[in-house]
């Protein structure tokens, strides 16, 4: 669809660079922005600029933070001897949301993926190793994607920091709560049988 | 989901004010913006600011325009004796896209809707009446929504500018091209029989 204004065309072009937003949606968003008050548009653009300029990564765990240490690392209510290793900032939010974990995190910033050209050096793996040798870490939990890349990353890190003083675990894989067995894929179902849990446990 | 950074929280809040974008999508977009180069983010925010500050409405037809008269009104290839009345800027783009109309437009900015508190004075109806009496308009085509509000708006305008020198028409309603008759609603199917078209016409 041809757009009659170059300014609008430019805005649509920039908005449609966002993930999952095509040209029609971008046009709808641009026309919505056009219909707003000028102060509202300024609030939006200011928030986006600040996002890029002022947000930091926590110097310890690489989670998002407004200051040097994030709110989780600087809290004295957390168990600092347990580190949960995740790929992404969103994973921290997802796990925090469960209220089931009281330790600290370490955000790798991705997973090892030769196809996408992501090697161990592009991730915060060395920082994790330093952190474990510096702080008194007793347990490392891998909470990475249940994919080949995720498994490779866990294994790579495990080989690097293997130590008798540290226990390693990975989050369990199995049938999702509420799922029908007949629709589960064979690999997941097979793993859920191998990793079966004693029935008296509160599960 | 709780967001660990106030700056990110603020950005998510602003982005989720856009239509059709919920909190999860806003978070995904914000994290994408965060991962971009600073210059890219500046391009985006500049485009949004310019959109609000620099874009104008055509002084004749109220279509979007970068200058006083829009590209359609200022073109000398268009038939200036025909005006197509539409609700919205997007309708102009949609009709232009068909390459079937060579006249001018008039963008009302909405339709009469007592429920939403939109009366005739909130629309560019007086401007249309002035324009018709000033320019030599021979034909007015209503291309409004096929709803009660659209029909009311057409009728209101028709009553106001009824004149022997001007022919009025409305875009045809009927079965969409490619549609199956059995899935068409009764009112549309009924109208399509009443407004049947002689078969020798090129349709």
Instruction: Quick: pLDDT tens for B161-178.
Output: 888 889 999 888 888 888
As a whole-number percent, the residues of chain A with pLDDT over 90 amount to 45
Mutate to test the interface with A, among B7, B26, B86, B105 (most CBs of A within 10 A): B7
Asked whether the predicted pLDDT for residue A1 surpasses 70, the reply is no
B32 interface with A at CB cutoff 8 Å: yes
Q: Which of A13, A45, A51 sits opposite B7 (nearest CB)?
A: A51
Asked whether the predicted pLDDT for residue B200 surpasses 70, the reply is no
Asked whether the predicted pLDDT for residue B145 surpasses 70, the reply is yes
Burial class (CB in 10 A: 0-12, 13-18, 19+), A178: exposed
User: Which pairs count as long-range contacts for B133-136, CB under 8 Å and 24+ apart, including other chains?
Assistant: B135/B80, B136/B80, B136/B81
Query: CA A12, CA A22: separation in Å to the nearest integer?
Result: 9
Q: Looking at domain A6-54, does it have CATH number 3.90.79.10?
A: no
Mutate to test the interface with A, among B22, B33, B52, B65 (most CBs of A within 10 A): B52
Residue in this structure with the two tokens 């560019």, named with its chain if needed: B124
Q: Which of A1, A55, A63 sits opposite B34 (nearest CB)?
A: A55
- With the C-alpha atoms ordered A201, A162, A68, B4, is the resulting torsion angle positive or negative? negative
pLDDT at A202: 55
The Cβ of residue B24 has, within 10 Å, a number of other Cβ atoms equal to 12
Mean pLDDT of B173-201: 80
Q: Mean pLDDT of all residues in chain A? A: 88
pLDDT at B184: 81
pLDDT at A143: 92
Asked whether the predicted pLDDT for residue B90 surpasses 90, the reply is no
Asked whether the predicted pLDDT for residue A33 surpasses 60, the reply is yes
Enter the tokens of residue B93: 């783009």
Distances in Å between the Cα of A5 and the Cα atoms of A31, B84, B97, B198 are 12, 19, 15, 40
Chain A residues 84-143 with a CB less than 8 Å from chain B: 89-90, 92-94, 96-97
**Are the CB atoms for A15 and A29 separated by under 8 Å?**
yes
Strands B139-142 and B82-86: parallel
**Are the CB atoms for A92 and A63 separated by under 8 Å?**
yes
State the span(s) of chain A assigned CATH 1.10.8.420: 6-54
Longest dimension (CA), chain A: 68
Helix (H) or strand (E) holding A125: helix A125-134
**Are the CB atoms for A17 and B44 separated by under 8 Å?**
yes
Is this prediction's pTM over 0.80?
Answer: no
Q: What is the CATH number of domain A64-171?
A: 3.40.1360.10
Residues contacting residue B23 through CB under 8 Å, at least 6 positions apart = B1, B12, B16
State the span(s) of chain A assigned CATH 3.40.1360.10: 64-171
pLDDT at A44: 92
Burial class (CB in 10 A: 0-12, 13-18, 19+), A1: exposed
| Coil, helix or strand at residue B95 | helix
- Mutual angle of helices B23-34 and B6-15, in 10-degree steps: 120
Radius of gyration of chain B (CA): 22
pLDDT tens, residue by residue, B102-133: 999 999 999 999 898 999 999 999 999 999 98
Distances in Å between the Cα of A31 and the Cα atoms of A15, A193, B62, B124 are 12, 53, 14, 18
Lowest mean pLDDT: which of A71-75, A191-195, B100-104? A191-195
B28 interface with A at CB cutoff 8 Å: yes
């Amino acid at each position: 669809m041809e757009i009659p204004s170059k300014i609008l065309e430019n805005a649509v072009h920039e908005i449609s660079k966002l993930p999952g937003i095509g040209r029609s949606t971008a046009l709808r968003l641009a026309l919505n922005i056009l219909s707003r008050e000028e102060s509202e548009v300024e609030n939006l653009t200011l928030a986006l600029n600040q996002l890029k300029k002022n947000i930091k990564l926590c110097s310890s765990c690489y989670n998002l933070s407004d200051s040097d240490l994030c709110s989780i690392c600087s809290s004295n209510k957390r168990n600092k001897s347990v580190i949960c290793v995740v790929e992404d900032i969103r994973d921290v939010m997802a796990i925090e949301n469960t209220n089931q974990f009281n330790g600290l995190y370490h955000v790798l910033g991705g997973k090892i993926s030769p196809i996408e050209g992501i090697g161990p050096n592009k991730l915060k793996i060395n920082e994790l190793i330093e952190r474990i040798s510096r702080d008194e870490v007793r347990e490392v939990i891998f909470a990475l994607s249940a994919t080949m890349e995720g498994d490779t990353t866990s294994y790579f890190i495990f080989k690097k920091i293997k130590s008798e003083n540290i226990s390693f675990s990975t989050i369990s894989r199995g049938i999702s709560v509420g799922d029908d067995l007949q629709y589960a894929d064979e690999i997941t179902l097979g793993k859920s049988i191998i990793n079966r849990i004693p029935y008296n446990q509160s599960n």
